[in-house]
């Protein structure tokens, strides 16, 4: 039996290329340049296998090789390569009864003379073809509301792919595709900033480590569609936790900033309380406080009279949001 494992290398020496998994609407990557002699590998059926038990037949075609001899290799879901069919004149190999997982297939070619002489280093092989059975890639965003000019976080997940590496793409509303500049990495996340409003399409590719650093040979995710809109200004809410504290010289009114929106300033009010009932028609505004303020000293009220105190938040356009009045305080007590 001819031993041919000596020339099979991991990493950059074995890369993945699958014309069977290209999305029809996806931008086409330029073809790899070839030099004589050459070898190509095609699959039939020319599709990603979807179910356990599938059979795929591979055909190797070479040029510039006299009396070629072919061997075929498989990388399994565990990342280990093994010989599937030793050197022979047969230029086809059927990968039968494929079970769930991610596989890479490659072929080597030698001339009969080089094979007889044991010159395995003369063998050439194509970029490997990827097979995915029961594998899946999904992509999702961190929020259902994407906003123009604000970061959009995308996360990918995969099953049935050995040590997955990911690459992300998105299509903006103009129809232009944009690629994650980092290329294929082990990181399952990607962040981009939408530059326009409208419908975006987002997808991710996942591949095993030995696959070529291209979306070819990788498995594509679902095509996620997301609408990007304008940022909506936060609605200004009322000041919070309004309290009043009486002293011999006046009343100190305190509050906290609104929970949403940004106040441009505050108005402070004293509301007379007569026989236990606030008289809002007689309310007196004591002045204004800047946006940075959280307290205001009220003075000049009638000693011994009772009051409630309130604070209004004033928005940038002059809109006013009233707070909830404090409890009753007797002035000058």
Q: What is the pLDDT of residue 81?
A: 92
Cβ atoms within 10 Å of 314's Cβ, excluding its own: 18
Q: What is the pLDDT of residue 213?
A: 76
Q: What is the pLDDT of residue 167?
A: 94
What is the phi/psi pair of residue 99, to 5°? -100, 170
Nearest CA to 146 out of 98, 208, 193 is that of 193
Nearest CA to 269 out of 284, 290, 258 is that of 284
Q: What is the pLDDT of residue 27?
A: 37
Asked if 167 contacts 215 with a C-beta cutoff of 8 angstroms, the reply is yes
Say what the pTM is.
Answer: 0.57
Q: What is the pLDDT of residue 21?
A: 30
CA separation for the pair 9, 235 (Å, rounded): 62
Domains of the chain: 5-133 (2.60.40.10), 136-229 (2.60.40.1930), 240-330 (2.60.40.10)
Q: What is the pLDDT of residue 233?
A: 67
Q: What is the pLDDT of residue 49?
A: 62
**How high is the mean pLDDT in each 10-residue block of the chain (333 residues)?**
33 31 32 66 75 89 96 91 96 93 92 96 87 90 84 93 93 93 90 92 91 77 84 83 87 93 93 93 91 92 91 90 93 73
Q: In the chain, how long is the greatest CA-to-CA distance?
A: 116
What would the two tokens of residue 106 be?
A: 């490659």
CA separation for the pair 181, 156 (Å, rounded): 16
CA separation for the pair 106, 206 (Å, rounded): 19
């Amino acid at each position: 039996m001819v031993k041919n494992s000596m020339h099979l290398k991991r990493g950059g020496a074995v890369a993945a290329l699958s014309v069977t998994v290209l999305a029809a609407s996806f931008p086409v990557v330029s073809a790899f340049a070839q030099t004589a002699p050459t070898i190509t590998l095609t699959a039939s059926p020319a599709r990603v296998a979807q179910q356990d038990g599938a059979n795929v037949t591979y055909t190797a075609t070479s040029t510039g090789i006299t009396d070629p001899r072919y061997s075929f290799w498989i990388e399994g879901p565990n990342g280990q390569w093994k010989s599937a069919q030793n050197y022979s004149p047969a230029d086809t190999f059927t990968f039968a009864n494929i079970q769930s997982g991610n596989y890479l297939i490659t072929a080597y070619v030698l001339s009969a003379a080089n094979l007889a002489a044991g010159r395995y280093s003369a063998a050439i092989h194509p970029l490997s073809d990827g097979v995915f059975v029961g594998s899946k890639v999904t992509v999702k965003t961190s929020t259902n509301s994407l906003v123009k000019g604000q970061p959009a976080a995308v996360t990918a997940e995969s099953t049935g792919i050995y040590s997955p590496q990911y690459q992300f793409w998105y299509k903006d509303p103009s129809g232009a595709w944009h690629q994650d500049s980092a290329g294929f990495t082990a990181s399952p996340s990607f962040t981009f900033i939408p530059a326009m409003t409208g419908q975006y399409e987002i997808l991710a590719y996942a591949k095993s480590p030995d696959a070529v650093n291209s979306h070819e040979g990788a498995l594509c995710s679902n095509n996620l569609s997301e609408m990007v809109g304008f940022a909506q200004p936060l609605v200004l809410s009322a000041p919070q936790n309004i309290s009043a504290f009486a002293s011999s010289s006046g009343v100190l009114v305190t509050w906290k900033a609104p929970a949403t929106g940004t106040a441009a300033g505050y108005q402070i009010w004293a509301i007379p309380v007569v026989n236990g009932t606030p008289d809002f028609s007689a309310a007196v505004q004591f002045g204004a406080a800047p946006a940075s303020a959280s307290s205001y000293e009220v003075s000049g009220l009638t000693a011994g009279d009772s009051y409630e105190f309130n604070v209004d938040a004033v928005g940038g356009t002059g809109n006013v949001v009233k707070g909830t009045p404090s409890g009753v305080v007797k002035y000058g007590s």
